[in-house]
Amino acid sequence: MLDDKTYLELFASRALGPEHFDHRGHLRLAWLHLVHFTEEEARQRVCSGIRELATRFGAPEKFNHTLTEALMRIIELRMRGQVIRSFDAFLRENPDLLNDAKSLLDRHYSAELLNSDRARTNWVEPDRDAIQ
């Protein structure tokens, strides 16, 4: 497994391989960016980086801006007031992010909205329950 510094560097240079780009990898990118950058900058960096890598991997249609940013906003909320130890410790305290992200997102978004073209390309506010 890549150490955090290398992981961030490879992502920043868009050299992160697809083997590091699964759901856990997306969560790790979000967490690491939220540790090192402001919330707004973290969201911008992660969304633009994942979009570029999805395109590079030949699957631009797989990127969903709203899904990515919604998970980041949920992670932001859960990180507030916590002592930052490690990504693995964060996941142990928040296993639903890894194991049941779909149900978590379903609380906030209808499938119709989350899978819309508008949500795929831009941030869209939840149509069910606000993320707060």
Domain boundaries, the chain: 4-121
Q: How far apart (Å, rounded) are the C-alpha atoms in residues 132 and 125? A: 11
Q: Convert the pLDDT of each residue in 12-31 to its tens digit.
A: 999 998 888 899 999 999 99
pLDDT at residue number 125: 98
3-state SS class at 75: helix
Q: Convert the pLDDT of each residue in 60-116 to its tens digit.
A: 999 999 999 999 999 999 999 888 789 999 999 999 999 999 999 999 999 999 999
Do the Cβ atoms of 86 and 32 come closer than 8 Å?
A: no
Q: How many CA atoms lie within 13 A of 66 on its CB side?
A: 23
Look up the pTM and report it. 0.93
